[in-house]
Structure 1
Amino acid sequence: MLNVLFTKHYPKVYTSAVKTQVSNALLVGEILGQVIVGITCDYLGRKTAIVLTTLMVVVGGILATASHGITTLGMFWMLTIARGIVGFGCGGEYPAASTSASESANERTLKNRGPVFILVTNLPLSCGGPLAVIVFLIVISAAGSDHLSTVWRVCFGIGCIIPLIVFYFRIRMLNSKLYRRGAIKSRVPYGLVLRYYWKDLIGTAGAWFLYDFVTFPNGVFCGTIISSVTNGSSLVKTAEWQLLLGIIALPGVFIGAFLCDRIGRCNTMMLGFSGYLLFGLIIGAAYDKITKIIPLFVIFYGLMQSSGNLGPGDMLGLISSESYATAVRGTCYGFSAAVGKVGAAVGTEAFTPIQNNLGKRWTFIVAAICGIVGILVTRFFVRDLRGEDLKYEDEEFRAYLVEHGWLGEMGEEDLKAPALEGVEEVVVPAKSG
């Protein structure tokens, strides 16, 4: 919504280039955060990483709220830097929070680990969009449309409060037993990791690239899209349509959580990508007619985003947290998510040129094409996981390392031991074949 606000309030300065700059600052920060914090949470522990990401989000949010400059363009440069810091924290949340959630759910509710993981990760993430729009509507109603500078600063300021609320609980959290037994603190054999997990990495990273290529620009620019369809309606009216769009997208999260154990992670993700194909083609093919009926357009647009939540939105985090051993779970998860954010950056950069050169309908047709490719990547490179205990993945990975001559230590504190300990019979699992 602030993209729409900035365009209205600073029309001469907030050009397409500046809009992309501010949006991509978050993406660049996220990519760096996903990779760096992913490695950090494997080396230093889940708690250290998750506390670091919280601090980065809060500090970046405060700087964004206080953005100023000698010129308006200077203010947007400060906002760009602040959004980069927020992005680093947000990116770090992916591996830090997700590995913690997966391992905690594995210890406390193994039979329902998949649904529980989704409900504490992608559900809050998906609720964030509608919540942000609700905050925006409340603030603009209180401040008025004549005080737009106050509106965007207050919105950014409120965004600092939620991380501070959860900070107390993160300070008190403990690293999981899986981590304390399976961590590799030094001499990580990345060559063996790549040989063992190359196929999984192609699957999770490739699918994430396609998903974020579609969903991120549609998330960032959905206010702009709706504003163009409604012929430049007021900020409040655009926000109301965007709120409806976000609410329609929410049921997909629950459907994905319901299906993941029943039909498997792989099939659920392919089902979600099929929704991109179906609804992307419907909107793209009938764009001129469907945009004349705004409620119908918002419904189909919402159903496309709901399909994304149902499939890759729910499954990518879950699969990435289950496909890799504890010792490298954060690193591999962070790498996959970072490749996804590269897709988001590419999608954001390509969004406006696609609209300008091919027509607005093609943003949805491209989403349909990504749906087809996503189905193929999932089918051939993603394992059909069904919620097995994560300790079995750790045991197979440990056996593989020992078989290939790696004899370093694994674990921390009282659970530290040589990798060879506990491997009674070394069997090379046929995972990557």
Structure 2
Amino acid sequence: MSRSPSIVNSDGATANSNGRSTRTVVQNIASDFSASNFNKDHPLYDDLAPEDSYLDGVYWADLPWATRQNWVHAQSNAEAKRELHHVWSMFKKDPLSPLAAYWRRYVIGGFGLFTEGYTLFSIGNLSALFSAVWPTCWSSYKICNANWIAAVSYLQIIGIMVGQVVVGFEGDWIGRRTGLVQDALVMTLGLVMLTASWGTSLEGWVICYAWSQFIYGIGVGGEYPMTSTTQLESKTVLRAGHVQRDDKLHRGRNVVLAFLMQGWGQLFNQALLIVLLLIFHHGSGNPPYSEVAAQWTFRISFAVMAAMTLWLAYFRYYKKAYSSRALQKSKKHHHINQSGYDIYSLKLLCAHFGGRLVGTCFCWMFGDFLFYGAKLFASTFIEAIDPGSSSSVTTTWLWNLLNVGVEMCGYYLAAFLIDHKFYGRKRMQIIGFLADGILYLLPAIWYTQLSSKAHIHGFQAIYFLSSFFQQFGPNCTTFLVAAEIYPISVRATAHGLSAASGKLGALMPAVIYNYVSTHTRFWIVCWFGFAGWIVTWIFIPDTTGLDLREQERYWDYVREGRAKDYHGIAVHPRHLSAWERYILKRHLAYNPELDREQRVKELRQLWEQNMVLVKEGGRAEDELDYEDETVLSSKASSFFASE
């Protein structure tokens, strides 16, 4: 519930229907909310202490350890049973309805990232094919400039960085819908260019191919801030007590299940490339490969995705429903033009949440260094696991396909546990970074032994486990956290900046690894895992289970320069980073009883505003839009009406 802090100090000059001043009523109400008087019998209990976050009026993170453990596990188990029962009920009515619901919410929501995973990782897959078919251009660089071959990867990453920053800013400025439609159209243009790329010489084609990757990269870069924010803001609002249960209990899962479409894109691309090569290479995957087979394979692979992305643009423009109310309300609340940008919040973000911005930017950078660095390691792992495989493109692709399957297990396990209050985002990210750091340290120490035939299974385990913990760790969590921990007015901007930092991390190994040996690469990459672990612990807060309306409420206080007057759960030690607790000491402002009094005053004025809306609009109270977060529960409305 996002409210201006000026409500807290309102002088209550207006009078209610009984002739009593608002100030008098508020003081009388607030005096009844001490810890001893606040119980389940009070009409405001469900508004102030919803059962999905409180036990007997006590916030779950304030419970004694044993009680908290029992409560968290009981809630998790009960919610799992409830959802399974709901899915089973859907299945009995229509066996395909659960799949249809999954498709609508997660597949369509994350389809932009499906195209990103498909096309982004096809570059490495196709480079292996191009090197086999045109070795004088892609391997020995006799007829093509080596810088242009390298630019194929560089320009795509630079394009992605441009899209992440520009569209992130645009999403907060103009709106999420514009950003999403624009992304799909730019990606379609890029894919058409990739499909039709040509040149008067082989090097001319490479140059055209590289710039097509840049155009496509701009479109796919915008998908990061737009997909994360739209999934985060697509909430299920329940009328009973107006509690956003789905948002608090499943917010992380909703975002990650859309994000993991990136993995499905990789899987589909790898499988399709194998099938296309078999079709056009006369049913054989063995070299040598003809130029005709290579041309048909890569062009059809891009054409298929171009058609899908064009459909996505149509769907986003004509069919998709957008949850833009929260952003519009934030602008209205802070007196920002609906088509304007909240530049003050951006400046304040750097000043007040600078530590968080450092955390999300550097964690994403370290995570992408690990992730994309591992892709460069793939050939080393595969050659060690399957000697001689480098001569066959299809063998390499099959190993990649298996590795993507392992990654998918990590994606789905991350979605399953990311909202569990005893694991959550922060712990998942810490463990993922730490696990990858250790896994890469092992071959750094024992490279000769592990790469030998006698210890090949150990090398294989490191290859698959590092991919698993990358997804069941920083690759999923950085995408979620970089949007979740920031206020809505600058959420897409902050996410775009963080994501662009990540792509800088992706660019680094592509440059550094050209100048060091394979053994040295392991010594370099492992420390990025350990650095990510440390930065996560210091700068990243754990917002698992936090009501984001409280974060917006806190931001209202921050905007008015009175952050210390806020006493709610957004500054609970559980939801602050180590930097915010031990250095900035923001947790000292947390006081449940003072916060309860403030919220009662805010609820009172909220009820008065709704009554004015009913009076001016000529509508009955039960006709208010229940997707609007300013609608109180029926008990609260009745309570204030009776005062």
SS at match of 1:383: coil
Residue in structure 1 matching 2:151, options 18, 21, 33: 21
Give the count of matched residue pairs. 409
Residue segments in structure 2 that go unaligned for 5+ positions in a row: 1-124, 238-243, 282-288, 585-643
Instruction: Please state how far the C-alpha of 1:21 moved relative to its aligned partner.
Output: 0.9
What are the Cα deviations for residues 218-272 of structure 1, in whole angstroms up to 9, with x where unaligned? 3366357635863323111111111111111221112222332221211110010
Q: What one-letter code is carried by the residue in structure 2 that aligns with 1:251?
A: C
Q: What one-letter code is carried by the residue in structure 2 that aligns with 1:2?
A: L
Residue in structure 1 matching 2:262, options 113, 125, 138: 125
SS at match of 2:518: coil
TM-aligned CA distance change 1:206 to 1:248, over 3 Å: same
Q: What one-letter code is carried by the residue in structure 2 that aligns with 1:148?
A: A
TM-aligned CA distance change 1:221 to 1:283, over 3 Å: closer
SS at match of 1:403: coil
Structure 1 CA distance for aligned equivalents of residues 131 and 296 of structure 2: 15
Residue pair 1:276, 1:367 contacting (<8 A) in 2 also = no
2:356 alignment counterpart: 200
**1:188 has 2:343 as partner:** yes
SS at match of 2:503: helix
Structure 2 CA distance for aligned equivalents of residues 299 and 219 of structure 1: 16
Question: Greater CA radius of gyration, 1 or 2?
Answer: 2
Instruction: Please state how far the C-alpha of 1:19 moved relative to its aligned partner.
Output: 3.4
Greater RCO between the two (CA within 8 Å, min separation 6)? 1
1:412 alignment counterpart: none
Residue pair 2:373, 2:525 contacting (<8 A) in 1 also = no
1:230 alignment counterpart: 387
Instruction: Please state how far the C-alpha of 1:292 moved relative to its aligned partner.
Output: 4.6
Q: What one-letter code is carried by the residue in structure 2 that aligns with 1:360?
A: T
Structure 2 CA distance for aligned equivalents of residues 363 and 353 of structure 1: 10
Q: What one-letter code is carried by the residue in structure 1 that aligns with 2:195?
A: T
Q: What one-letter code is carried by the residue in structure 1 that aligns with 2:438?
A: L
Deviates more, 1:212-221 or 1:324-333: 212-221
Instruction: Please state how far the C-alpha of 1:176 moved relative to its aligned partner.
Output: 3.0
Structure 2 CA distance for aligned equivalents of residues 191 and 361 of structure 1: 44
**Identity of matched residues, %:** 26
Residue pair 2:373, 2:509 contacting (<8 A) in 1 also = yes
Q: What one-letter code is carried by the residue in structure 1 that aligns with 2:447?
A: Y
Residue in structure 2 matching 1:278, options 418, 422, 438: 438
Q: What one-letter code is carried by the residue in structure 2 that aligns with 1:365?
A: W
**1:321 has 2:483 as partner:** yes
**1:116 has 2:116 as partner:** no
TM-aligned CA distance change 1:297 to 1:132, over 3 Å: farther
Instruction: Please state how far the C-alpha of 1:399 moved relative to its aligned partner.
Output: 2.1
Deviates more, 1:202-211 or 1:379-388: 379-388
2:126 alignment counterpart: 2
**1:240 has 2:398 as partner:** yes
Q: CA RMSD in A?
A: 2.4
What are the Cα deviations for residues 111-157 of structure 1, in whole angstroms up to 9, with x where unaligned? 21111211111x11122222211011011011113221221222222
What are the Cα deviations for residues 354-373 of structure 1, in whole angstroms up to 9, with x where unaligned? 2xxxx213333322211110
**1:164 has 2:291 as partner:** no
TM-score, normalising length: structure 2: 0.60
Instruction: Please state how far the C-alpha of 1:20 moved relative to its aligned partner.
Output: 2.1
Structure 2 CA distance for aligned equivalents of residues 398 and 230 of structure 1: 61
SS at match of 2:353: helix
SS at match of 1:159: helix
Residue pair 1:270, 1:311 contacting (<8 A) in 2 also = yes
TM-aligned CA distance change 1:245 to 1:370, over 3 Å: same
Residue segments in structure 1 that go unaligned for 5+ positions in a row: 405-422
Equivalent positions of 1:6-405 (< 5 A) are 6-14=130-138, 15=141, 17-105=147-235, 107=237, 109-110=246-247, 111-121=249-259, 123-144=260-281, 145-146=289-290, 147-171=293-317, 172=319, 173-183=321-331, 184=336, 185-189=340-344, 190-219=346-375, 222=378, 226=382, 230-231=387-388, 232-262=390-420, 263-293=423-453, 297-354=459-516, 359-403=517-561
Instruction: Please state how far the C-alpha of 1:211 moved relative to its aligned partner.
Output: 0.8
Structure 2 CA distance for aligned equivalents of residues 49 and 340 of structure 1: 20
TM-aligned CA distance change 1:225 to 1:349, over 3 Å: farther
TM-aligned CA distance change 1:81 to 1:238, over 3 Å: same
TM-aligned CA distance change 1:286 to 1:126, over 3 Å: farther
